Structure 1
Amino acid sequence: MSEERLMSKKKPSYPVSKKLDIFLDQYNRKIEIPIFYEDLLRFAGSVVVYDNEGNDTLWVRVYYSDSERKEIDLSLKMVYSILHSDGTDRIFQYLNVDAVDYCTFGNSKPFRIRIRNILNDNFIYFYVKKADASRIYGLELEHMLSPYNLNFLVYKDTLIEEHISGIPGDIFIKNMLPNCTDSQKSQLAKEFVKFNERCMIQLLGDMRSYNYVIVPIHDFDHVVFRIRAIDFDQQCYEGKLNVYRPQFFKENLQMVELVQGRLLEDSIEQYKVEERSIIAKRIISANKRIKRLINAAKVDKISSPENVERLKMEIFTYTKDLKFKKCRNMGQILNLTLDFVKRNYENVSMRQIIDKKIEVK
């Protein structure tokens, strides 16, 4: 299926609602910062950034006039301190702003900031973006429902995100996948099944290969791989259910073929059940926080009426749950989706308890 037919051409940016703003404040995501996204747009010029092989990365390195550079550097150091340290200026003397890069590709048009420790040359990235409610819901859901914690801040119309380390999926598939061992390919196939299921349940869309990273982890005498989403712009926006299933993007074809060639149908179903179960446990564990986030989403507008209508009917067809037909917005659809996963898990657990009691008798 072509990308144009699968997804809308342009997703609008949605402002942070009052209820979402209250949620962010309640959970220490809303913190005053000394610089805004618009401040970084005042660059005087730019140069193209190329990778090690001389390819255009679609990023440009921007530079500022002398009169603004000092203030911007200090502000970015303070943002780093708020995000990663105690929020004071005592570490400024050890920090240098190595680069400010700007990307015009995609919806968020982010700035990528590289901060280097001058004592040991270690460096770290973070991103400055225009705050978009869809993306914030995606980040918060990923923080609560995936195996990974996310560090981000929101202040007015500016979003600060920490960098998610890993090998971009498209680069991994092209350069590293062919050299993986048979056992590593089987493990990658398992991870892709779980990743696919997690994205669908969270309603996180557009997980083409360049929107997630592969993270190699050394475990005793072998390497295991994890798959992490890095782009959350398409949270609860599109109307087509397949947009929330990475398996349907042509960029992921090799990963799909890996699953088909390495896993039996029973194994695929087993890994889906495992992922649904662990997400259900996380929903139960983070019950109060998730409820507050969903309550904000249920009164928020983060998609079009047409997309809402289509998605609720496609999920109804998939689940046969009549409640989806009554949904009026994406927040209500998301609420029912998570509740559906939670109820199924609790029902299975209750049946197991009853069966064990019968066996004991």
Structure 2
Amino acid sequence: MMEEKLMSKKKPAYPVKKKLDTYLGRYNRNIEIPIFYDDLLRFAGSVAVYDNEDNDTLWVRVFYSDFDREEIDLSLKKVYSILHSDGSERILEYLNIDAIDYCTFGNSKPFRIKVRNILNDNYTHFYVKKTDASRIYGLELEHMLSPYNLNFLVYKDTLIEEHIAGIPGDVFIKNVLPKCTASEKAQLAKEFVKFNERCMIRLLGDMRSYNYVIVPVHDFDHVVYRIRAIDFDQQCFEGKLRVYLPQFFKENYKMVELVSEKLQEYSVDQYKIEERSIVAKRIISSGKRIKQLVSAARADRISLPENIERLKKEIHEFTMDVEFKKCKTMGEVLDTALDFVKRNYEDVSMKQIIDKKF
């Protein structure tokens, strides 16, 4: 008997409905920009982009006619100013668009823009993508519930995302992990457990090794590694609970193996509890903002009916919380999941208060 595939073949892009659009405007995410995704599709030619080891990156570098390139370069510089500065044009003369790359791999088919400061040769990237409501929910949830803030803009059918720096997970696992010390591997195992838990709680799926980066942080006399998601296409879409747990992807086998080798079962459970508590605190501190986002998601269509039915059943079996059986939309499943984490945290906190008092 063939094993069931973990992921669906293709996820559709969902439009931004009025309630989400209102939310984006309220929190300065919805800002007019001078170029659209479709404008960048007018390229006249392309060449493949290879990495330092001559492997095909699946990105192509695109070229435009002289007339189009001048207009596109100026518009992209303006987008950079809106995204990273005050939106004024006074910095434009110091910027250069070094490259525009296009990726046909995956759902979002993004353009990657390389912007260089000509005064000091520092450069950064940002991405231009087609708008997808489920991706926007993913970006906002990452902004509020992870340790990291995210900068992005939405205008009509175009999404602008800042670049998230780090070593791609698949590259790290292949080239860096074998050279890590025993203590670094133990710390990575701990971080993967927390990352795994965080993805499940907020229903972020498809965290295969090439969809997250590992960020080395130098702290006194050692290096601490952090794991950051970089792809939010699969926010609240799939019906299989396993999709929201990075541990079940074969691409993460080495990380799972690391957890088994370096951490005792008690430690794994403790790190899960820690992450749930941290996420619960972030839910509480986000206040009205996360309530407004989830309210938009509850009324939105960001998945298929069969996925909603399957996921709410599987989460009910996992948590034994009857509230999941009442959900009718994927946004309601998300709301119930976040509420479940929050309620359990508050119940434990209250018990600790009562225990101390009596």
> For residue 46 of structure 1, what is the aligned residue in structure 2?
46
Offset of residue 88 of structure 1: 0.8
3-state SS, counterpart of residue 5 of structure 1: coil
CA–CA separation in structure 2 for the residues paired with 1:55 and 1:178: 21
Alignment-mate amino acid for residue 25 of structure 1: G
> For residue 220 of structure 2, what is the aligned residue in structure 1?
220
CA–CA separation in structure 2 for the residues paired with 1:191 and 1:201: 15
Alignment-mate amino acid for residue 281 of structure 1: K
Alignment-mate amino acid for residue 216 of structure 2: P
TM-score of the pair, normalised by structure 2: 0.99
> For residue 350 of structure 2, what is the aligned residue in structure 1?
350
Alignment-mate amino acid for residue 10 of structure 1: K
> For residue 115 of structure 2, what is the aligned residue in structure 1?
115
Alignment-mate amino acid for residue 245 of structure 1: L
Alignment-mate amino acid for residue 73 of structure 2: D
**Which structure 2 residue ranges, 5 or more long, are not aligned?**
none
3-state SS, counterpart of residue 160 of structure 1: strand
Alignment-mate amino acid for residue 240 of structure 1: K
3-state SS, counterpart of residue 6 of structure 1: coil
Offset of residue 30 of structure 1: 0.3
> For residue 195 of structure 2, what is the aligned residue in structure 1?
195
TM-score of the pair, normalised by structure 1: 0.98
CA–CA separation in structure 2 for the residues paired with 1:67 and 1:351: 68
3-state SS, counterpart of residue 88 of structure 1: coil
1:108-257 paired onto structure 2 within 5 Å = 108-257=108-257
Alignment-mate amino acid for residue 284 of structure 1: I
Alignment-mate amino acid for residue 45 of structure 1: G
Alignment-mate amino acid for residue 290 of structure 1: I
CA–CA separation in structure 2 for the residues paired with 1:338 and 1:357: 29
Alignment-mate amino acid for residue 257 of structure 1: E
Alignment-mate amino acid for residue 52 of structure 1: N
CA–CA separation in structure 2 for the residues paired with 1:249 and 1:173: 14
CA–CA separation in structure 2 for the residues paired with 1:3 and 1:132: 30
Do 1:3 and 1:249's aligned partners in 2 also have CA atoms closer than 8 Å? no
> For residue 274 of structure 2, what is the aligned residue in structure 1?
274
> For residue 101 of structure 2, what is the aligned residue in structure 1?
101
CA–CA separation in structure 2 for the residues paired with 1:67 and 1:155: 24
Of all paired residues, the percent bearing the same amino acid is 78
Alignment-mate amino acid for residue 226 of structure 2: R
Do 1:108 and 1:129's aligned partners in 2 also have CA atoms closer than 8 Å? yes
> For residue 58 of structure 1, what is the aligned residue in structure 2?
58
Alignment-mate amino acid for residue 196 of structure 1: N
Alignment-mate amino acid for residue 126 of structure 1: F
The change in CA–CA distance for 1:96 and 1:298 in structure 2 (over 3 A counts) is same
3-state SS, counterpart of residue 43 of structure 2: coil
**Which structure 1 residue ranges, 5 or more long, are not aligned?**
none
CA–CA separation in structure 1 for the residues paired with 2:247 and 2:339: 24
Do 1:45 and 1:62's aligned partners in 2 also have CA atoms closer than 8 Å? yes
CA-to-partner distance for each residue in 1:124-162, whole Å, 9 max, x for gaps? 000000000010000000000000000000000000000
CA–CA separation in structure 1 for the residues paired with 2:253 and 2:331: 31
Alignment-mate amino acid for residue 19 of structure 2: K
> For residue 34 of structure 1, what is the aligned residue in structure 2?
34
Count of matched residue positions in the alignment of Structure 1 and Structure 2: 358
CA-to-partner distance for each residue in 1:205-259, whole Å, 9 max, x for gaps? 0000000000000000000000000000000000000000000000000000000
Do 1:59 and 1:104's aligned partners in 2 also have CA atoms closer than 8 Å? yes
> For residue 307 of structure 2, what is the aligned residue in structure 1?
307
CA–CA separation in structure 2 for the residues paired with 1:311 and 1:57: 34
> For residue 84 of structure 2, what is the aligned residue in structure 1?
84
Do 1:216 and 1:225's aligned partners in 2 also have CA atoms closer than 8 Å? yes
Alignment-mate amino acid for residue 330 of structure 1: M
Offset of residue 4 of structure 1: 6.8
3-state SS, counterpart of residue 218 of structure 1: strand
Residues 1:69 and 2:55 are matched in the alignment:
no
Residues 1:23 and 2:23 are matched in the alignment:
yes
CA–CA separation in structure 2 for the residues paired with 1:3 and 1:72: 47
Offset of residue 287 of structure 1: 1.7
> For residue 13 of structure 2, what is the aligned residue in structure 1?
13
The change in CA–CA distance for 1:93 and 1:81 in structure 2 (over 3 A counts) is same
The change in CA–CA distance for 1:100 and 1:69 in structure 2 (over 3 A counts) is same
Offset of residue 56 of structure 1: 0.4
Alignment-mate amino acid for residue 39 of structure 1: D
The change in CA–CA distance for 1:311 and 1:128 in structure 2 (over 3 A counts) is same
Structure 1 residue runs of 4+, over 2 Å off? none
3-state SS, counterpart of residue 5 of structure 2: helix
3-state SS, counterpart of residue 78 of structure 1: helix
Do 1:137 and 1:235's aligned partners in 2 also have CA atoms closer than 8 Å? yes
